[in-house]
Chain A
Amino acid sequence: EDQVTQSPEALRLQEGESSSLNCSYTVSGLRGLFWYRQDPGKGPEFLFTLYSAGEEKEKERLKATLTKKESFLHITAPKPEDSATYLCAVHPRTRSGGYQKVTFGIGTKLQVIP
């Protein structure tokens, strides 16, 4: 069964204090790994899709990287507006032509303090 484990569950940073969020996954063949940001009471907002080990993508203060077993979301010099829950999800390769559902992690709740 596909699994996604995110750590830490919660992270509190001072404004400007860089850090990384981890997403470890187990899947028999990766089609894509996704990162989302979710604010309280709202739907997840898409950030990145990564397809193969070694791939990196950046958006403002965020940078996502991918290895064969995990992905990191690096946050450089975070601001209070970066406070949110960050979700990781994996989409496995199709097996026997059937649909393979996306598996989501529980998320990392990030709080950036001014």
Chain B
Amino acid sequence: SQTIHQWPATLVQPVGSPLSLECTVEGTSNPNLYWYRQAAGRGLQLLFYSVGIGQISSEVPQNLSASRPQDRQFILSSKKLLLSDSGFYLCAWEAGLRDTQYFGPGTRLTVL
């Protein structure tokens, strides 16, 4: 069966510091991968998606970036965090044509 991992689970970072969140998927090959941010009272906001190694599409221009160095690894990064980057970050995978997205446990990021 497929499993998706995210770490860290929680993170508190000062403004201006760098960020690296990691997501890995087990039990599937060549998944579509997604990064979402969830803010209180708002729907999930798609940040990035990837259909293959090195292929990244950005949905929202901001100071975040994403990379996919391996088939089942997806990384969300920032060089300098802003207060507005605080939120709950979710990684999801999708088995291509099957459409359904399955989510990881999430990372709670607080920028102070």
Contact = CB atoms under 8 A, between A and B. Distances in A.
Interface residues of B, number: 20
Given A4-B43, A43-B90, A44-B90, A102 B101 contact: yes
A93 B52 CA distance: 21
Interface in A77-101: 87, 89, 91, 99, 101
B100 A106 contact: no
B49 A99 contact: yes
A46 B100 contact: yes
A101 B46 contact: yes
Given A99-B49, A102-B46, A43 B41 contact: no
Interface in A2-46: 4, 31-32, 34, 36, 41-46
A41 B40 CA distance: 11
A101 B49 contact: yes
B43 A34 contact: no
A49 interface: yes
B59 A43 contact: no
Given A41-B106, A101-B59, A32 B46 contact: no
Given A105-B43, A106-B42, A46 B102 contact: yes
Nearest to B57: A99
A104 interface: yes
Interface string B26-62: 0000000000000001111010010100000101000
Contacts of B51: 99
A55 to B, nearest CB: 14
B7 interface: no
Contacts of A42: 105-106
Contacts of B90: 43-44
A106 B43 contact: yes
A107 B51 CA distance: 27
A76 interface: no
B87 interface: no
Q: Which 5 A-B pairs have the closest CB atoms?
A: A43-B103, A104-B43, A104-B44, A43-B106, A44-B103
